[in-house]
């Protein structure tokens, strides 16, 4: 049996060397792409290094060819290959709502891969400012949680900025139990109050005598564990990677259907993929049937609205903006026609961006 095992391992080693050669070849082609784009200068979309539609196409092609590995695992592997090759073309600078090891950080890695220059900032307006000032190429911001609803600050900022949504990330909010030493006796557990509340039942079932200690963030909790020998943290999985901790258990939160949606914003206009969404905002006249008339425009255009909500304009009391998401891309013919009709019927209309659907 040992002889047969050795033969299989040798075959794996040969395949690994072949895989490395192919990845090297792919990286070399990425450098060729960079050279072509550099020669083109600043002429059009083909000079942009992060192209959401192209990366989605690549992921779709390779995952459809995969027959054995878990689909999500295979996607993660290839996201990292794309990330490393893209950063050979030009390092991608990504601003995100910090600190390190938060769910927003995890969403940024999920979209861009771990290769890149990540910039944690302290509030959402700073994310926008970093991209507007070209200190970052892209920003990642939370927009909506499946249990708690929309992030109103993000909605308001999207109205004011000239940046566009170019990608979206849907991230399952999964809390993990992290430790420095998996054999140590745990006497205290750190985390943000919300994360402790979400995971309290699991903790009490498995560690009934521990002290629960609230801190400012799950990232701060993970950092605390690196400094103590008998402590654990409730935090996202990315915190284990950032702070070199062990994941003793994943998914210890009570809710299994808790997702947060994030937007990637930048100066890139995402091209049509055939599986796109568009976000826009509009205001209407203060008259009977105004909202009905606007919604009828979407219906006549055969556009599938997937979300609508209102926010105060903050310019006049009891005046509202309506935010909508719909299936389709701003360049599709029926959407182009619809936008013309919307502008005739609304006081204000602004496209916030079209992007590949997560």
Q: With a cut of 90, say whether residue 136 has pLDDT above it.
A: yes
Q: With a cut of 60, say whether residue 132 has pLDDT above it.
A: yes
Catalytic one of 104, 154, 218, 260: 260
Q: What is the largest CA-CA distance in the chain?
A: 83
Residue 46's pLDDT is what? Answer: 55
pLDDT in tens, 193-249: 989 999 999 999 999 999 999 998 899 999 999 999 999 999 999 999 999 999 999
Output the CATH code of domain 17-172. Answer: 3.40.190.10
pLDDT band at 99 (very low <50, low <70, confident <90, very high): confident
Average pLDDT, the chain: 93
Residue 98's pLDDT is what? Answer: 86
Q: With a cut of 80, say whether residue 41 has pLDDT above it.
A: no
Catalytic one of 177, 262, 298, 323: 262
Which whole number is the average pLDDT over 139-168?
A: 95
Look at the domain 179-249 and name its fold.
D-Maltodextrin-Binding Protein; domain 2 (3.40.190)
- Write down the number of H helices and E strands in the chain: 11, 15
Which whole number is the average pLDDT over 174-201?
A: 95
pLDDT band at 171 (very low <50, low <70, confident <90, very high): very high
Q: With a cut of 90, say whether residue 147 has pLDDT above it.
A: no
> Which CATH superfamily is 270-356 part of?
ACT domain (3.30.70.260)
Which whole number is the average pLDDT over 255-261?
A: 89
Q: With a cut of 80, say whether residue 43 has pLDDT above it.
A: no
Q: With a cut of 90, say whether residue 263 has pLDDT above it.
A: yes
pLDDT in tens, 18-28: 999 999 999 99
Residues forming beta bridges with residue 117, ordered by sequence position? 93
Q: With a cut of 70, say whether residue 101 has pLDDT above it.
A: yes
Instruction: Please confirm, yes or no, whether 138 is among the known catalytic residues.
Output: no
Domain ranges of the chain: 17-172, 179-249, 270-356
For CA atoms 218, 220, 221, 223, give the dihedral sign: positive
d(CA 87, CA 82): 9
Instruction: Please confirm, yes or no, whether 260 is among the known catalytic residues.
Output: yes
Does the fold of domain 179-249 match that of domain 17-172? yes
Q: With a cut of 90, say whether residue 49 has pLDDT above it.
A: no
Residue 234, token pair as written in the block: 């409730």
Residue 23's pLDDT is what? Answer: 96
Spell out the residues 6+ positions from residue 310 whose beta carbon is closer than 8 angstroms to its own.
320, 321, 322, 323
């Amino acid at each position: 049996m040992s002889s047969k095992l050795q033969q299989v391992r040798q075959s794996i080693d040969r395949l690994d060397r072949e895989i490395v050669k192919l990845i090297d070849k792919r990286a070399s082609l990425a450098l060729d792409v960079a050279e072509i784009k550099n020669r083109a200068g600043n002429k059009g979309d083909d000079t942009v290094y992060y192209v959401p539609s192209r990366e989605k196409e690549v992921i779709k092609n390779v995952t459809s060819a995969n027959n054995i590995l878990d689909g999500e695992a295979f996607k993660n592997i290839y996201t990292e290959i794309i990330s490393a090759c893209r950063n050979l073309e030009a390092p991608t600078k990504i601003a995100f709502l910090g600190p390190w090891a938060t769910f927003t950080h995890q969403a940024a890695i999920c979209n861009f891969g771990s290769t890149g220059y990540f910039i944690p900032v302290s509030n959402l307006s700073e994310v926008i400012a970093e991209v507007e000032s070209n200190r970052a190429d892209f920003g990642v911001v939370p927009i909506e949680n499946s249990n708690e609803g929309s992030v109103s600050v993000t909605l308001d900022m999207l109205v004011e900025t000239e940046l566009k949504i170019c990608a979206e990330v849907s991230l399952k909010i999964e809390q993990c139990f992290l430790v420095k030493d998996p054999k140590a006796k745990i006497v205290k557990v750190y985390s943000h109050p919300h994360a402790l509340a979400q995971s309290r039942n699991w903790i009490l079932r498995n560690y009934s005598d521990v002290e629960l200690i609230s801190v400012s963030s799950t990232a701060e909790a993970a950092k605390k564990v690196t400094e103590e020998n008998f402590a654990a943290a409730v935090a996202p999985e990315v915190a284990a990677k950032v702070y070199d901790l062990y994941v003793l258990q994943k998914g210890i939160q009570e809710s299994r259907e808790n997702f947060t949606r994030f937007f990637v914003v930048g100066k890139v206009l995402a091209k049509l993929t055939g599986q796109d969404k568009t976000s826009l905002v509009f205001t209407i006249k203060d008259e009977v049937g105004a909202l009905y008339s606007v919604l009828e425009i979407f219906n006549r255009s055969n556009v599938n609205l997937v979300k609508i909500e209102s926010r105060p304009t903050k310019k006049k009391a009891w005046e509202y903006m309506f935010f909508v998401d719909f299936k389709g891309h701003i360049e599709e013919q029926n959407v182009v026609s619809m936008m013309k009709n919307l502008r005739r019927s609304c006081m204000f209309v602004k496209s916030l961006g079209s992007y590949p659907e997560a």
